Amino acid sequence: MAHALQKPSESPVLKTHPRMTFRSGQFLYEIVSDGTQSVYRVTDGKETLDEPILYAFGNAHVAQTYVFRHGGKLLEGRVSYYASIDGLDWTVGDALDPPPDLEEAAGRDIDSDEARNCFSCHGTAALANGRLQLDPLIPGVSCEACHGPGQKHAMAKLLETGADSMIFNPKTLDAETLSQEFCGACHRGVDSVAVMPDLGGVSNVRFQPYRLFNSRGHDAKDPRLTCTACHDPHLNLGQQDAGNDSHCKICHDPGTAAQTRHTKQDKSAGAKRREASSLSTKCPVAGDKCMSCHMPKVEVPGSHFQFTDHRIRIVRPGEPYPY
Ligand code: HEC
Ligand code: HEC
Ligand code: HEC
Ligand code: HEC
Ligand code: HEC
Ligand code: HEC
């Protein structure tokens, strides 16, 4: 997450791709980098609009989107880089086919509210007195974004709870607050998805706290099912063992369940906890690779990426995506 926002000169994608192009109708898009700066350029054959890129959003695990200034406005580039195609395509949600005019074709005006949100989730200390400040901004989700002291609106409330210390330890949060409010401040918890039109459609697969919360039979308050049970936020996804079966077997282990039954007579607090912690429900289908079936991959249209559905469930063939 440290690379969620980058200066163009620090973006590995831009460094290794000195010229990227994309064509739609008469419009030709080009992103050209020379090591010191990157330029976002669109031409319709007659006129050309080009602007230096201010920031690259995303470490390109999925995609990277470019933001630049034009005529005093911040614009989100209509085209983004996608890792799986190693090239440019329409930015998710921004496709205009064909675009009506050069300025519309270049980028989408992200009004001040929206830009504030983009930089707050992808950067640190983006706001001063509620206003977007690009100068003191620390690109990426830095230590401070999660451990304070921060100016971030989303985290500010949570940080107050650790007011006596300058360093906030998220370990002190209860399980539900950690997943839904702390990680959910950026990854979007159940409350923020509930107010979205159509609950965000299939795109809500990107809102892992919401998906996890609605997993049938799963208690969002159980610390064995928080975000940090499977993810270490200090490591890149590739360095984690998020998909390990042990994350499921900690509860769904018939072996442990049998053991628990033996201790049923002993009603000490410890035994009760053990009883509650292991289930006799055994998968009738397989004994390993649990998440490959129960957390299926779902393609978000236009993203060139299959996200992991965090709504843990039995997937029946032909069943529609549950919202
Ligand atoms: C301040 C906003 C913010 C908070 C808080 C936050 N994330 Fe993220 N997270 C992001 C952004 C933005 C990305 C996209 C990353 C990128 O492009 O590098 C991301 C990406 C990720 C990824 C994908 C990893 C990767 O390397 O691409 C995981 C897993 C993740 N976050 C888990 C968590 C967990 C667990 C928590 C809570 C402990 C959390 N995040 C809290 C903003 C946040
Ligand atoms: C509410 C917080 C939030 C806001 C606002 C937000 N993002 Fe993100 N963004 C995330 C999180 C969390 C992820 C990682 C999970 C995912 O890919 O959906 C992410 C992922 C991305 C990715 C893919 C990153 C990768 O590693 O592949 C891009 C590109 C991106 N965002 C661009 C933007 C842009 C541009 C804006 C503003 C127009 C924006 N985001 C607004 C939280 C946010
Ligand atoms: C996306 C949010 C996020 C970011 C960014 C982040 N941390 Fe953490 N950090 C956490 C969470 C959540 C925990 C608690 C993990 C747990 O429950 O075991 C934690 C725990 C820690 C701990 C252990 C505290 C303890 O009591 O065991 C240290 C040390 C730490 N972080 C340092 C850092 C440093 C240094 C950075 C920047 C390089 C950083 N963190 C960035 C979320 C984050
Ligand atoms: C039971 C384990 C588990 C839990 C709990 C879990 N995740 Fe994941 N998560 C995964 C797996 C597995 C992947 C896919 C990893 C890969 O592709 O390498 C993943 C992927 C992700 C990604 C990358 C985008 C994608 O869809 O591949 C993000 C972001 C993420 N998780 C955030 C979260 C957040 C936030 C929470 C808490 C609400 C959470 N996860 C809880 C297992 C888990
Ligand atoms: C914190 C304990 C816990 C963890 C961790 C956990 N589960 Fe569950 N799971 C439950 C409980 C409780 C139920 C409710 C049904 C029951 O009593 O067996 C359940 C139900 C289920 C169901 C049936 C859902 C339905 O729609 O009927 C499936 C499938 C499942 N879990 C798979 C998994 C997988 C796969 C993982 C790992 C990604 C996992 N679970 C992790 C506690 C857990
Ligand atoms: C090949 C796909 C697949 C894999 C891998 C898999 N499951 Fe299942 N699982 C299923 C299907 C399908 C069902 C529904 C069976 C039925 O009701 O007909 C199911 C049912 C379940 C149930 C509900 C059982 C009940 O009696 O209600 C649980 C719990 C479960 N699986 C957990 C797991 C765990 C834990 C793992 C990993 C150790 C796992 N599954 C691996 C496909 C799979």
CA distance 58 to 6: 8
Q: Choose the residue to mutate in 227, 232, 298 for probing ligand 4, maximizing ligand atoms within 8 Å of C-beta.
A: 227
Residue-level pLDDT at 29: 97
Q: Which ligand is nearest to the CA of 317?
A: 6
CA distance 290 to 245: 6
Contact 75, 69 (CB under 8 A): yes
Closest ligand 5 atom to 245 CA: 37
The half-sphere exposure of 80 on its side-chain side, counting CA atoms within 13 A, is: 28
Q: Give the Å distance between the CA of 1 and the centre of ligand 5.
A: 28
Q: Give the Å distance between the CA of 322 and the centre of ligand 5.
A: 17
CA distances to 148, 160, 161, 169, 271 from 164, rounded to whole Å, are 12, 9, 8, 12, 37
With 0-12 CB in 10 A as exposed, 13-18 as middle and 19+ as buried, what is 43?
A: middle
Average pLDDT for runs of 10 along the chain of length 323: 94 97 95 94 96 97 97 95 98 87 93 89 84 87 80 47 61 92 94 90 96 93 95 93 95 60 39 50 90 96 97 94 91
Residues 6+ apart with CB under 8 A from 300: 92, 202, 203, 205, 206, 307
Q: Choose the residue to mutate in 285, 289, 292, 315 for probing ligand 6, maximizing ligand atoms within 8 Å of C-beta.
A: 285
Closest ligand 4 atom to 189 CA: 38
Q: Give the Å distance between the CA of 229 and the centre of ligand 1.
A: 15
Residue-level pLDDT at 254: 63
> How far from each other are the two terminal CA atoms of the chain, in whole angstroms?
27
In Å, how far from its chain's centre is CA 291?
Answer: 19
Exposure string for 124-154, b = 16+ CB within 10 A, e = fewer: bbbbeeeebeeeebbbbbbebbbbbbbbbeb
Q: Is 11 left (phi over 0), alpha (psi -120 to 50) or beta?
A: beta
CA distance 169 to 24: 49
Q: Give the Å distance between the CA of 67 and the centre of ligand 5.
A: 42
Quick check: CB of 183 below 6 Å from ligand 1?
Answer: yes
Residues 6+ apart with CB under 8 A from 292: none
Residue whose token pair is 């936020």: 233
Q: Give the Å distance between the CA of 223 and the centre of ligand 6.
A: 22
Closest C-alpha among 32, 18, 17, 25 to residue 85: 17
Closest C-alpha among 321, 315, 102 to residue 201: 321
Q: Choose the residue to mutate in 1, 147, 178 for probing ligand 3, maximizing ligand atoms within 8 Å of C-beta.
A: 147
CA distance 86 to 63: 9
Closest C-alpha among 273, 272, 280 to residue 256: 280
CA distance 45 to 51: 17
